[in-house]
Amino acid sequence: MDFFSDGLLKWQDIFRPLAAALGAKPHTLVRWFDTNTFFRAPEISGRVATLAHPDGVVPDGSVPRPRVTTLPSPYMFSRAAHTDQARNQLMVALAEQVLRPAADAAVAAGSQLIHLEDPWLGYSGIAREDWAPLGEALKILHRDLKAKLVFHVYFGDAGPHIDHLLKLPVDVVGIDLIETELNALGSGWDKGLVAGVINGRSSILESLENTVEVARHLADRVQPRDLYLSSNCELGYLPTGVAEQKLQRLGEAARRVRELVSV
C-alpha cells in the first residue's frame, strides 16, 4: 500500500464534515444511489461561505504518511445539495470556497493525493453543457496544489465519458473497472489512472492472478503516466472481514505487479 487513509470511519457521510464546518444544516435523508446506505443532503442557500475550520477533513495524526484525503467532487456536491442556486454556479463556488481550503489543509497535514469521489457522474451521467463548468471548478482545485488531484468516477460505465475525462485539469482519473470495459480506456494516457479492480459491492474475493493480469494489461495497453490499483468504490458496503481480505488481495496484486515490471 502506497498511500494511507483513516478510512473516514468517523464520517456520517461524505458531505457531513464539510457541511458542518460551513454551518449548513443537513437536510433530507436520501438513499445513496442504489445501495442500502443514506446521506443527509446538505442545505445550501445564498452565498457559499468560505470554509474556515476544515479540521474534520484532515486525516487523523495516527495515519502513516504519505496520506490520501477523500473529498466529494464539486460536481457531486453541487448535485446532491438541497439548494436554491443554479447547480453549475454552486459547483464553482463550492470548489473555491469549500473544497480548495479543505484540500490545502489536507496537504498541510501530509496528504499527497486528493481523491475526489464522483459516483454521481457515473450513475446519473452529465449534460454536455456541464463539462465546461466542471473543468472550471477542477481548475480551481488543481492550480498550484501541492499534491496530485484525482477525479474518480464510479457506480457506472465511464466509457462514454473517457474523452472528456482525459481533458479535465486533474493529474489522475479514477475508473470503475467493474462497470467499464478495459477496451474503452484507449491508450497512451497523459494522466495517471486509479484502476478500480476490486469490487467493493460484492463479497466474492477476486482472483489474484486475474487482478494481476488486468493490471499488466492496463500498464501495457493504456500506458497511464502512473497506475494506482484500488477498489472501484468504498469498501464500507462489505462485512469488515471481507473488506480486510479484499484489501490484502489488493496489496498482494500490487506487489506481484511490481515484481513483474521490475524483471
Residues 6+ apart with CB under 8 A from 77: 15, 18, 42, 91, 94, 98, 99
What CA–CA distances, in Å, run from 78 to 12, 82, 202, 262? 18, 9, 29, 43
Q: State phi, psi for 36 to the nearest 5 degrees.
A: -95, 35
Closest CA to 150 of 176, 116, 121: 116
Does residue 120 lie in a domain region? yes
The whole-angstrom separation of Cα 162 and Cα 245 is 31
Sign of CA dihedral 232, 235, 239, 245: positive
Closest CA to 192 of 221, 170, 164, 214: 170
Q: Specify the pLDDT at position 263.
A: 45
Does residue 69 lie in a domain region? yes
What share of the chain has pLDDT > 90, as a percent? 74
Q: Specify the pLDDT at position 20.
A: 79
Does residue 11 lie in a domain region? no
Closest CA to 178 of 146, 154, 160: 154
Query: Each residue of 195-244: pLDDT tens digit?
Result: 999 999 999 999 999 999 999 999 999 999 999 999 999 999 999 999 99
CB burial of 223-250 (b: ≥16 within 10 Å; e: otherwise) equals: ebeebbbbbbbbbebbeeebbeebeebb
Does residue 201 lie in a domain region? yes
Q: Specify the pLDDT at position 258.
A: 85
Q: Specify the pLDDT at position 1.
A: 64
Name residue, grid cell 471481507.
242
Does residue 2 lie in a domain region? no
**Count of the separate structural domains present in the chain:** 1
Does residue 199 lie in a domain region? yes
Range of the domain at 40: 16-262
CATH classification of the domain holding 144:
3.20.20.210
For residue 70, the cross-strand partners are 115
Does residue 216 lie in a domain region? yes
pTM of the model: 0.94
Does residue 155 lie in a domain region? yes
Are 196 and 232 in contact, with CB atoms under 8 Å apart?
Answer: yes
For residue 113, the cross-strand partners are 68, 148
DSSP calls for 165-206: HTTSS-SEEEEETTTS-GGGG-S--SSEEEEEEE-TT--SPP
Q: Specify the pLDDT at position 262.
A: 57
E strand spans, the chain:
26-31, 38-44, 67-72, 82-83, 111-118, 148-153, 172-176, 192-198, 227-231
